[in-house]
């Protein structure tokens, strides 16, 4: 097996011509050794970058991952230049829009739950309590217009099942400053939820103050 130092320039050139595709390069490994094949791969990357630079180094102007800024501007620009049909990060854009839409709907609904249940930060509310407000026996619901898409539909009973699964899922993360804290009500044998801003932080501070006073 030839090593890096035993290969002359003309031999490397022959490898480049003979082993041009990814599958070919994999076949070249046992014949010429890893160092030589790595040189070919690096050279291929440099050729692409040089071509991009010589063409004016076009960068991506509309960013999908704005928080990465310069990285996407450059890498996205290179990939768009090499293969524009690939649509680099297009799937992420679609997913991001969906997540942003869900986030806005969720925060809006949680804010209106806090209005409907003013003490919910300290007195947990149950799925059935929320369902009763969304599908009241008498009068119009003040909450129904703010329920996220996909939860409304069918009867109040089927809504309660969907709402229960939804609350369990959204309680695993923060929504801005709003948190949902699951609390098991062993007396009623149901899960209830505290809904408020920075609940965990306040609970930690309250515990710290209690321990300080006790000391």
pLDDT for the residue 164: 92
pLDDT for the residue 199: 81
Q: Is 133 helix (H, G, I), strand (E, B) or coil?
A: helix
Query: 29: how many CB neighbours lie within 10 A of its CB?
Result: 14
pLDDT for the residue 124: 95
Among 76, 119, 102, 86, smallest CA distance to 170 is for: 102
Distances (CA, A) of 198 to 63, 136, 201, 206: 32, 30, 5, 12
Q: DSSP readout, 158-207?
A: HHHHHHHHHHHHHTTS-BTTEEEEEEEETTTTEEEEEEEESHHHHHHHHH
Query: The tokens of 58 are what?
Result: 């076009």
Compute the distance between CA of residue 181 and CA of residue 193 in angstroms, rounded to an integer.
5
Residues sharing a CB contact under 8 Å with residue 147, sequence separation 6 or more, in sequence order: 109, 134
Compute the distance between CA of residue 163 and CA of residue 148 in angstroms, rounded to an integer.
10
Q: How far is CA 24 from the centre of its chain?
A: 37
pLDDT by 10s per residue, the chain, length 215: 344 444 445 544 444 444 444 455 455 545 555 566 577 777 778 888 888 888 888 887 665 555 566 777 788 778 888 887 777 666 665 545 455 667 888 899 999 999 999 999 999 999 999 999 998 888 888 898 899 877 876 555 688 889 999 999 888 888 888 899 999 999 989 999 999 998 877 655 445 445 455 55
């Amino acid at each position: 097996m030839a090593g890096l130092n035993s290969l002359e320039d003309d031999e490397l050139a022959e490898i480049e011509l003979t082993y041009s595709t990814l599958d070919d390069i994999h076949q070249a490994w046992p014949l010429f050794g890893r160092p030589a094949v790595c040189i070919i791969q690096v050279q291929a990357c440099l050729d692409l970058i040089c071509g991009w630079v010589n063409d004016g180094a076009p960068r991506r102007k509309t960013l999908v991952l704005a928080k990465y800024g310069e990285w996407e501007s450059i890498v996205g620009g290179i990939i768009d230049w090499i293969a524009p049909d690939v649509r680099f990060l297009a799937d992420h854009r679609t997913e991001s829009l969906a997540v942003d839409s869900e986030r806005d709907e969720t925060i809006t609904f949680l804010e209106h739950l806090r209005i409907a249940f003013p003490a919910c930060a300290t007195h947990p509310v149950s799925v059935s309590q929320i369902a009763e407000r969304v599908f009241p026996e008498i009068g119009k619901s003040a909450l129904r217009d703010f329920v996220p898409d996909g939860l409304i539909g069918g009867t109040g009973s089927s809504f309660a099942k969907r709402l229960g699964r939804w609350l369990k899922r959204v309680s695993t993360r923060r929504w801005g400053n709003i948190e949902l804290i699951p609390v098991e009500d062993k007396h009623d044998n149901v899960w209830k939820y505290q809904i408020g801003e920075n609940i965990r932080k306040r609970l930690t501070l309250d515990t710290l103050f209690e321990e300080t006073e006790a000391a």
